[in-house]
A and B are shown apart, each in its own frame.
Chain A
């Protein structure tokens, strides 16, 4: 298909502002006359505030709020699930802190320094309670209760044995499937708790308006849900709250929920009747959000020919001190598993458990990288036991075109209509030199090379033909200007991946106008229609779908009006992109000269009082098609230091039609690096003695990859398919770009040294330890002979 913009390399529209330092993030918002806020946080993982004395802070002239001054409302900061499936256990400030770092009180003053001094003058007497840090221990009888009562929707529920929520799913007869298996493999996996480490710390700037309303600038992936939540907590009519859409300095899932800085800053601004800025430091940010830690138990049955039969999965999730999206995650984890490979029968038990740790939230992939790591490890093991090529085993079992796909757990299902899995695996194998990979564990010597692969996917949006338990719709507004340009107004947030850039290209393509004539308008909740959130890799697929439909509406109106001018029938008119005129031109085919530019038409429409050519589209994606990826990684393991280095990486992806090839490639590169980090480096370790994270919020002690870890050789390729439900055939990418990375790296390490790891991250220390164990065993075998 010939395209002007789709699949064509075009510079980012926002790049100019970003390279010149003029891009304004929420962290860059300073209002005249504003106060600076600081938050007092619990130094104990589990405590009760017996007494709090803020009198000195008040004497210092600071505005002070404590748990006594905030509305008595229990909420969940994430509003994406339907209300009846939303578990609520949060308060803006609490007298019963449940993790180190939980906000107790807050102050606002003329400078950050004054605010800090006021904060330090507050005296708190705590009753220190016993913390629970391990999810398995937390479920034992007699352990301290982290929550007594919470809300499910509008219903109060009692928490038993610190179980936050649970989900069981059974389809088919698993025992029967196991009986019909030639091999049953059982494994336990433990994942790491990771910190998003987006560069921009969480921030909120709140301006109280004269009518009792609020204007809010903050780090968020969803301006509309932020507005709804603030309305819910503070009983301010939703229409009086205006949340600004801003670029965000990375998020990776950490601002799907409204960050706690927002309601705290709102409470301070309401009390001060002045603008308030609450900007977290990096250390505070690390205590605000992190990923879920999971313990999986898998039992998978397979026949001699490599056909999988049935499976059991247990998923115990350590969710930290509060619920954000624990319940929907229990569902998606089941979905990620059953949508990788076909199983005739499945049984799933998911349990989300409270601990006295930083609340866990979504982190790029929403459980999928972890589940994929476990499943793809097992697939590798099965392949080796049955002596089947690992790629052939995957091709024999994968869920592909025509199969049912659990996009967002059991309530969001659809049929897969586009799938490039086979081509990804075949081409990737060829590029990495799969046939020449070493045999696992056979190498000797200090440096050992390993090649591993894994495949995966992610949902594009949470759309489906039926409503389900996840809210997923979006919207777009388009209006045509007199110069032939269009203003594009959306509530979607660009997290850096280029979501809005893709929308602009879709609009330009449909209307045949130059890309520079699509203006991505600054927007807020007052000027946009509802969008749920930029998450679930839905930006291009769902948002692009809305943009395309809005452009189609506009096109129809353009043709209707042009028909009046050109004296022709609307349905016979055509539009072309005129590069010289830098305009879209509407013309009558075969009739030379009967044409009008979109700019001329919009101008004429004004002069003739025909009105503004504009469209509003509210859009529910009809499906959540999986975008597929395949990773092939070559590593070099230093058996003396345990250090692993990626030497070659090949990544293939089916994202349907590629809208923005260079930005798509950037997602794959970034996906690998983040996967590398989660597989081998990152770990938010807790000290059992203090109940605190060992790095204490310092990124000097929380390692993440720098440019030094970037392999020089990363090869990416796209297998283009056409997704019939996507805009110009496109699907998502942001999360699938990373999902199989951890698994492929782990399989490569196994290939190099012949040792499997069932606990993340795979650090040099763990590698050395396992190599020693292996040597001992091998020595014994030799001695035995």
Chain B
């Protein structure tokens, strides 16, 4: 077993993991963060996306031992004082949510994009989202939601 200590949504977590444990399994099975969805487990669908030091990663492809000393954000970490993040608001307002299984991963990908590029073009949004599958086909609404979130963030800061 390997001892690790990392920051999860602003809180310090200390735990032990096997060398073979993936970040996805650590989050879902050990810590019960079920917003991190188990999808394809081969890094194709993006349902298990989390932010690792601000960058979107497929948690199924990252070994848990590697997150020692690092920062992990899941969709739970976007709430501030129980208030929704502008991206979450925009997803509700633009009807970018259907079955919702891809939603946490898509929102985190959007967060990472807007953090480094507050004014993305549609092409840049598409590029950022190319690793998140939505079988309901809500991409059009998702793009609109990210454009709206970008506006919201600008007017609030």
A23-31, A236-244, A770-778: which lies at the B interface? A23-31
Residues of A within 8 Å of B98, CB to CB, are: 496-498, 666, 670
A669 lies within 8 A of B133 (CB): no
Return the chain A residue nearest B93 by Cβ. A11
> Quick check: B97 and A19 within 8 Å, CB to CB?
yes
Report whether over half of chain B's contact residues are helix, strand or loop; otherwise say mixed.
Answer: loop
Q: Are A700 and B101 CB-contacts (below 8 A) given A19-B88, A669-B141?
A: no
Task: Show 30 residue pairs from A and B whose CB-CB distance is below 8 angstroms, ordered by the A residue.
Answer: A12-B95, A15-B97, A17-B100, A18-B100, A19-B88, A19-B92, A20-B75, A20-B88, A198-B99, A198-B101, A199-B37, A247-B100, A249-B37, A250-B135, A250-B136, A282-B40, A498-B98, A666-B136, A669-B137, A670-B137, A670-B138, A672-B137, A699-B40, A699-B42, A699-B44, A700-B44, A706-B133, A707-B126, A710-B137, A710-B139
Q: How far is the CB of B34 from chain A (nearest CB, A)?
A: 4
Q: Are B40 and A663 in contact (CB under 8 A)?
A: no
Minimum Cβ distance to chain A for residue B107 (Å): 6
- Nearest residue in B to A710 (C-beta to C-beta)? B139
Say yes or no: B101 contacts A30, CB within 8 Å. no
Interface string of B121-157 (1 = CB under 8 A from A): 0100110011111111111111100000000000000
In this assembly, does A136 line the interface, its C-beta being within 8 Å of a C-beta of chain B?
no
Residues of chain B from 59 to 99 with CB closer than 8 A to chain A in the complex:
74-76, 78-79, 84, 88, 91-93, 95, 97-99
Please, how many angstroms separate the alpha-carbon atoms of A139 and B118 in the complex?
Answer: 61
Q: Quick check: B95 and A662 within 8 Å, CB to CB?
A: yes
- Collect the chain A residues with CB atoms within 8 Å of residue B44's CB: 699-700
Given the contacts A249-B100, A699-B44, A27 and B37 also touching, CB distance less than 8 Å: yes
B-contact 0/1 string along A184-222, CB 8 Å cutoff: 000000000000111111000000000000000000000
| Also in contact, A18 and B103, with CB within 8 A (given A281-B41, A708-B126) | yes
Q: Which residues on B sit within 8 Å (CB–CB) of A665? A: 95
Tell me if A's interface is mostly helix, strand, loop or mixed: loop
| Any A CB within 8 A of the CB of B54 | no
From B40, B99, B141, A248 is in contact (CB under 8 Å) with: B99
Contact of A16 with B92 in the complex, beta carbons under 8 Å: yes
Given A20-B88, A700-B42: A25 and B101 interface contact (C-beta under 8 Å): yes
Q: Does chain A have a CB within 8 A of B45? A: yes
Task: Report, nearest first, the 6 A-B pairs whose CB atoms are least far apart.
Answer: A21-B35, A496-B99, A249-B101, A670-B137, A18-B100, A673-B137
Q: Let me know if B140 and A669 touch, CB within 8 A.
A: yes
B39 close to chain A: CB less than 8 A: yes
Whether the Cβ atoms of B41 and A21 lie closer than 8 Å is no
| Minimum Cβ distance to chain A for residue B79 (Å) | 7
Given contacts A200-B101, A247-B100, A699-B42, contact A22 B35 (CB under 8 A): yes
B38 located at the interface, meaning its Cβ lies under 8 Å from any Cβ of chain A in the complex? yes
| B104 interface residue per 8 A CB criterion | yes
User: Nearest Cβ in chain B — how far from A712, in angstroms?
Assistant: 6
| Given A281-B41, A282-B41, A706-B133, A21 and B101 contact (CB-CB distance below 8 Å) | no
Cβ of B47 within 8 Å of any chain A Cβ, yes or no, is yes
For the side of the interface on A, what is the size category? 35 or more
Pair A15/B37 contact, Cβ less than 8 Å: no
Minimum C-beta distance from B27 to chain A (A): 11
User: A15-B92, A281-B41 are contacts. A666–B138 as well, Cβ < 8 Å?
Assistant: yes
Whether A14 and B137, one on each chain, are in contact in the complex, defined by CB atoms closer than 8 angstroms, is no
Chain A nearest CB from B94 CB (Å) reads 8
- Chain B contacts for A275, CB-based, 8 A: none
Q: When chains A and B are docked, how far (Å) is the Cα of A242 from the Cα of B129?
A: 39
> What separation, in Å, do the CA atoms of A708 and B130 have in the docked complex?
6
- A673's nearest neighbour on chain B, judged by CB, is B137
Q: Which chain B residues in 12-61 approach chain A with CB under 8 Å?
A: 29, 32-42, 44-45, 47
Q: Which residue of A has the minimal Cβ distance to B145?
A: A19
Asked if A693 is at the interface (CB within 8 A of a chain B CB), the reply is no
Residue of B nearest to A716 (CB): B140
Q: What 0/1 readout, one digit per residue, does chain A (654-667) give for beta carbons within 8 Å of chain B?
A: 00000000110110
Q: How far is the CA of A8 from the CA of B138 in the complex (A)?
A: 20
Compute how far the CA of A281 lies from the CA of B97 in the bound complex, rounded to whole angstroms.
24
Say whether A87 faces chain B, with CB atoms less than 8 Å apart.
Answer: no
Residue of B nearest to A25 (CB): B101
Closest Cβ of chain B to A250, distance in Å, is 5
Q: Give residues of chain A (448-474) contacting chain B, Cβ–Cβ below 8 Å.
A: none
Residues of B104-129 contacting chain A, CB below 8 A? 104, 107, 122, 125-126, 129
Residues of B close to A674: CB separation below 8 A: 135, 137
Q: Which residue of A lies closest to B87 (CB)?
A: A19
B binding-site residues for A, Cβ under 8 Å: 29, 32-42, 44-45, 47, 74-76, 78-79, 84, 88, 91-93, 95, 97-104, 107, 122, 125-126, 129-143
Residues of A contacting B129 in the complex (Cβ-Cβ under 8 angstroms): 706-707
Closest residue of chain A to B135 (Cβ to Cβ) is A250
Bound Cα distance A197, B47 (Å): 13
| Shortest beta-carbon distance from B49 to chain A in Å | 11
Cβ 8 A contact of A663, one of B35, B95, B134, B142 = B95
A249–B140 CA distance with the chains assembled, in angstroms: 19
Is B139 touching A707 in the complex (CB atoms < 8 A)?
yes
User: Assuming the A-B contacts A19-B91, A20-B79, A708-B126, are A496 and B100 also in contact, with contact meaning beta carbons closer than 8 angstroms in the complex?
Assistant: yes
Could you tell me the distance between the alpha carbons of A712 and B40 in the complex, rounded to whole angstroms? 27
Report the Cα distance A20→B33, complex, angstroms.
12
Known contacts A671-B137, A674-B137; decide if A21 and B34 are in contact (CB<8 Å): yes
Residue of B nearest to A498 (CB): B98
Given contacts A21-B76, A247-B100, A666-B95, contact A199 B130 (CB under 8 A): no
Q: How far is the CA of A704 from the CA of B79 in the complex (A)?
A: 32
Whether A707 lies near B101 (C-beta < 8 A) is no
User: Which of B130, B137, B142 has the most chain A CB atoms closer than 10 A to its own CB?
Assistant: B137
Distance to closest chain A CB from B26 (angstroms) = 14
| Cβ–Cβ < 8 Å partners of A167 in chain B | none
Contacts of B143 in A (CB 8 A): 707, 710
**Nearest-Cβ distance from residue B142 to partner chain A, whole angstroms:** 7
In the complex, A722→B97 CA distance in Å?
A: 28
The yes or no answer to A698 lying at the interface (CB within 8 A) is yes
Closest to B125 in A: A707
Interface presence of A714 (CB below 8 A): yes
Instruction: Kindly state whether residue A252 has any CB partner on chain B within 8 Å.
Output: yes
Contacts of B140 in A (CB 8 A): 669, 710, 714
* Given A497-B98, A707-B130, 15 more pairs with CB closer than 8 A: A20-B79, A21-B74, A25-B101, A30-B29, A199-B99, A249-B100, A249-B101, A250-B99, A250-B135, A495-B99, A663-B95, A673-B139, A699-B45, A707-B126, A707-B132
Which residues on the B side are within 8 Å of A248 (C-beta)?
99
Q: Select the residue from B39, B74, B79, B135 with max chain A CB neighbours within 10 A.
A: B135
Given A16, A20, A496, A498, which contacts B76 in the complex, CB threshold below 8 Å?
A: A20
Distance in angstroms between the alpha carbons of A198 and B136 in the assembled complex: 8
How many angstroms from the CA of A497 to the CA of B98 in the assembled complex? 6
Chain A positions 697-748 with a Cβ under 8 Å from a chain B Cβ? 698-700, 704-708, 710, 712, 714
**Once the chains bind, are B137 and A704 in contact (CB under 8 Å)?**
no
Complex contact B130–A706 (CB within 8 A): yes
- Tell whether, in the assembled complex, residue B75 and residue A28 are in contact, meaning their CB atoms are under 8 Å apart: no
Q: How far is the CA of A473 from the CA of B14 in the complex (A)?
A: 53
Could you tell me the distance between the alpha carbons of A669 and B42 in the complex, rounded to whole angstroms?
Answer: 27
Q: Taking each of A21, A248, A673, which has the highest tally of chain B beta carbons within 10 Å of its own beta carbon?
A: A21
Task: Kindly state the separation between the CA atoms of A708 and B78 in the bound complex, as whole angstroms.
Answer: 27
Beta-carbon contact of A18 and B97 below 8 Å? yes
How far is A30 from B30 in the complex, measured between Cα atoms in Å? 11
| Chain B residues, Cβ within 8 Å of A11 | 92-93, 95
Q: Which of chain B's residues has its CB closest to A706's CB?
A: B130
* Nearest CB of chain A from residue B123's CB, rounded to whole Å: 9
**Which chain A residue shows the least CB distance to B107?**
A19
- A469-520 residues with Cβ-Cβ distance < 8 A to B are 495-498
